[in-house]
Structures are given as structure tokens and as C-alpha cells.
Amino acid sequence: MQQHQIQVSYDEYPDTSSLNHQDAALLEAAREAIQLAYAPYSKFQVGAAARLSNGIILKGSNQENASFPAGICAERVLLSICSSLYPGIAVIDMAISYFNQLGTSNRPISPCGICRQSLSEYETVVNHSIRLILGGSQGKVFIIEKATDLLPFAFTSADMK
């Protein structure tokens, strides 16, 4: 038997004032996207913003549905927008933020499992990693250099060959 270890590295900032201008602006765009969320059931609004390799910034938000679990997360809404409007253009950075109507929103959250899978696949399709900027409505901010770092054993198209 061999034992292996997986480590994930990330940078932690006390708040947005410690970020560079571009990262702070992208996180602010994600916070603005929260207002576009439709989350009447969970009361958990998520906003995401992506900076594309052509410099364009796009936003997406979670969209729930009474026919649970037919809703879609902000990250996948945003990836759909990016690939539909700008096919083949890489997402360089994605900021994700949230507002929890039933609790606090003062710490970073991470994409759910299906969003991690979708981010990983998108990175493969455009052959470029996505840098993640994660923060709540206030408080600490985490920066992860590659979305695939969040899903080290991703199921990929290579597994289907």
C-alpha cells in the first residue's frame, strides 16, 4: 500500500481593502450580481462575476425553482453565459460572493460539487485555469489559483475513453 496526500494552497486576505484593484473590482461585481439572484426558497443568494481573457466582465446569479432541485447555481449560470456569448474564450478569474438572508455572510464559501465539476470541465475545454476569488458580503477573502485544485479527483472526458 502507498499513502498519498493532496494539499490545496490558497491566499487569505483580511478583507477587500487588501486586494489589488482588479480583484477587488471583480469581487464587487460578484456582490452586485447577488441582487440578481432568485432564491425565495433557500434565502441564500449567490453572485458570481468572471473576467474573460478579452477583458470583458460578465455576471451570473443562482436561480432556484419550486421544482427542487431544478435550480442552478451562480457559477454554472455564469459559465453558461460565458460559453454562449463568448465560445472558446477563457475565463481568467471568477469571483463568488453571497448573502445569507437567514444568517451571516461574513466568510468565503466554496463552489458546490457540481459547480467544481463544471469549473474543471470548462478549464479543460478552453485550456486555461480559472483563478477563484471567494468572499462573503464582507470579511475575509480567499484566492485559489486554479478551480481544479478544489476537485483533485475530477471525472473528466479522459475517463470516458
Return the pLDDT at 112.
96
Half-sphere exposure of 95 (CA within 13 A, CB side): 25
In one-letter notation, the amino acid at residue 91 is: V
Torsion of CA 80, 150, 16, 52, to 10 degrees: -30
Q: Report the alpha-carbon distance of residue 136 to residue 73 in Å, rounded.
A: 16
**Grid cell digits, residue 16:** 477587500
How confident is the model over 11-66, as pLDDT tens digits?
999 999 999 999 999 999 999 999 999 999 999 999 999 999 999 999 999 999 99
Fold of the domain spanning 19-155: Cytidine Deaminase; domain 2 (3.40.140)
Does the predicted model carry a pTM greater than 0.85? yes
User: So where are the chain's domains?
Assistant: 19-155
Q: Is the pLDDT of residue 68 over 90?
A: no
25: exposed, middle or buried (C-beta count within 10 Å: 0-12, 13-18, 19+)?
middle
- Helix (H), strand (E) at residue 153: none
Banded pLDDT at 158 (limits 50, 70, 90)? confident
- pLDDT, residue 70, reads 85
So which residues are the catalytic ones?
A: 75
Parallel, antiparallel or unpaired: strands 131-135 and 91-100: parallel
Q: What is the dihedral of CA 39, 44, 45, 47, to 10 degrees?
A: -130
Cα–Cα distance for residue pair 62/48, rounded to 1 Å: 9
- Residue 65: what are its φ and ψ, rounded to 5°? -150, 145
